[in-house]
Amino acid sequence: MKKIYATIATITLIFFIFLLTDLFAGLLIDIEKIKIGNNKKTTKIHPIDKILLDNFAYLKKSEILQKSLSIPPTTYKLKNIYIDKYEVRQGDFYKFMEYSKKNKIRKVIGVGQDFKPKTLSQNHKILGENYVAANNISFYDVTSYCHNTGGRLPATYEWMAIAGGKTSRTYAWGDKFDNSSYVYDDPILNAGAKIGAHPANNTPDGVENMSTMVSEWTMGSYPHGDPIISGGNSYLKPAELWTMNPVYRPEDPKYRSVFVGFRCVYDENLKTTAWGTNLNLIKIPDGEYTIGLKKQAKMPALLPHISQLSYQDAASIIKQDRIKNNFKISKYEISIADYQKFLNNTFVKLNFYANESQPKNNKCKPNNWQQQLKNPRRPITNINWYCAYSFAKFAGGRLPTSEQWMQSVNLHKFIYPNSNNPPIITHSRENNINHPIDIKSDKNDISLLGLYAMGANVSEWTSTFNLSKQNIQAVIKGGSFALDKSNTILTSKRYLHPTLTSYDIGFRVVFD
């Protein structure tokens, strides 16, 4: 009998050892982790980012500002450029109109005979005065005026370069917004100020009132002549956005506005016009000029995606200065090989690690499981949120929140996994790829901390839920092989009901 009891005891002990081993098997899975945490002092938000973020709701509605303020920094060379110190005045334009009555004036841009320039503000008691900026004039009027002075209308990039200078100023006068030119509540009164009335808004080179009282006609795609209006004016609000140097908008050449004027540029220092107007020109220093907002700002690169973002999404990149809590995250997406260990576990089969709200009969074995097993180093896919949750708990961790997912890859405040430029992704929908690749194989999609595939391969479940939808949906972060490369931007996200699966969604795990 003693031998029988001893045998039973041995078998029982072995069984319990087996159970204990199985119970803690998840902890033995070799998941390589990276510690996330940052003890650096909080850094200041870039001034441009602060302005854009403060005006997020307005920017979301303005396609003009979205497009113009997201111009990537581009360098141009300027040489032998002279520009009118101030906008052409109404009095100067009246002289040109009189001159055109006695002399043949060429339209320059567009087809038409007997062209006669005009301003619709000639009899306006404020905007028709000789000393104010010429206004209510068409693109045809201004190109003809500049041509007949011996100059031309500035190309749009030239106007931006002159306004920004060699230091790429945010505004014509500097990097800080100045509202001293807006003396009155009535924008008409501000636009009707005497030329030269606001020297604080001059460029360091001495060019006056660019982008304050009136916007200015410029020539896009020079020399083909696309009509462009550059800069802000006293009417457009918020002025701290509209007066930024890169602001431009295409317009109909017949368009007229009391808030749009112009100035000319020249290849030599001319002194007077054929109709007797003395020219006051500024020589622009030769050299390289970079247009566009400063590259140190992060928000401009987000503007093309702003329709898909919330304020919180943008702020998570712009304002995130340090990690609020320390944790570790799996270096790679969870592989099929690791998931196989999970499926084979006794306690997993007993739903020991299941979420309390997991539906009955929830199955964690993917429908294409046998096919997936042929490539064990690829990330596991076709599993729902509940199965990802169970694996994370089995492994001694949990699914990351959407914020933690962002924190893990955005310590350096880039908008893509390792820079402000899209990564070179070869496994995407554009390349007709229909499956993920091995979790360690993409050397182009690695964050600066060493996290793999935060931009693509497969999208990833998070523990964050979107409760604003009609049905509860989990937030899914990151791009995938089935999505366009544009989805590699860190703010990219989508939503899926936790019971559903997808062939391009996997996950990774965080550990406290």
Poorest-pLDDT segment among 13-27, 74-88, 222-236, 346-360: 13-27
Q: What percent of the chain has pLDDT over 70?
A: 83
pLDDT on residue 10? 58
Which region among 8-17, 220-229, 444-453 has the lowest average model confidence (pLDDT)?
8-17
Which tens digit of pLDDT belongs to each residue from 284-313? 999 999 999 998 898 898 898 787 677 876
pLDDT of residue 406: 86
What residue has token string 């009335």? Answer: 197
Among 142-151, 244-253, 289-298, 483-492, where is mean pLDDT lowest?
483-492
In tens, the pLDDT along 383-420 reads 999 999 999 999 999 999 888 898 887 655 676 776 67
| 475 in Cβ contact with 495 (< 8 Å) | yes
Q: Is 320's pLDDT higher than 60?
A: no
Which residues have a Cβ under 8 Å from the Cβ of 394 and sit 6 or more positions away?
Answer: 25, 26, 342, 345, 347, 348, 353
Predicted local distance difference test score (pLDDT) of residue 141: 93
Phi-psi region of 206 (alpha: psi -120 to 50; beta: other; left: phi over 0): left
Q: 207 — phi, psi (to 5°)?
A: -80, 130
pLDDT of residue 411: 59
CB 437 within 8 A of CB 427: yes
CATH number of 74-292: 3.90.1580.10
What is the average pLDDT across 130-159?
94
Residue 468 pLDDT exceeds 70: no
Q: What percent of the chain has pLDDT over 90?
A: 56
Q: pTM here?
A: 0.64
Alpha helices in 183-223 (DSSP H): 187-191
**Over residues 344-370, mean pLDDT:** 91
- pLDDT-based confidence at 182, cuts 50/70/90? confident
Question: Tens digits of per-residue pLDDT, 474-500?
Answer: 899 988 888 877 777 777 789 999 999
Residue 28 has pLDDT above 90, yes or no: no
- Cβ 219 vs Cβ 226: under 8 Å: yes
| pLDDT band for position 428 (cuts 50, 70, 90) | low
The pLDDT tens digits of the residues spanning 42-85 come to: 457 899 999 999 999 999 999 999 999 999 899 999 999 999 99
C-alpha to C-alpha distance for 462 and 475, rounded to whole angstroms? 6
From first CA to last CA, the distance across the chain in angstroms is 50
Between residues 121 and 322, the one the model is more confident about: 121
What's the pLDDT score for residue 14? 54
**Collapsing DSSP states into helix, strand and coil, what is residue 445?**
coil
Cβ atoms within 10 Å of 471's Cβ, excluding its own: 9
| Topology annotation, domain 22-38+325-511 | paralog of FGE (formylglycine-generating enzyme) (3.90.1580)
For residue 222, name the pLDDT band (cuts at 50, 70, 90): very low
Strands laid side by side in the 260-261 sheet:
248-250, 226-230, 215-220, 260-261
Domain with CATH 3.90.1580.10 in the chain: 22-38+325-511, 74-292
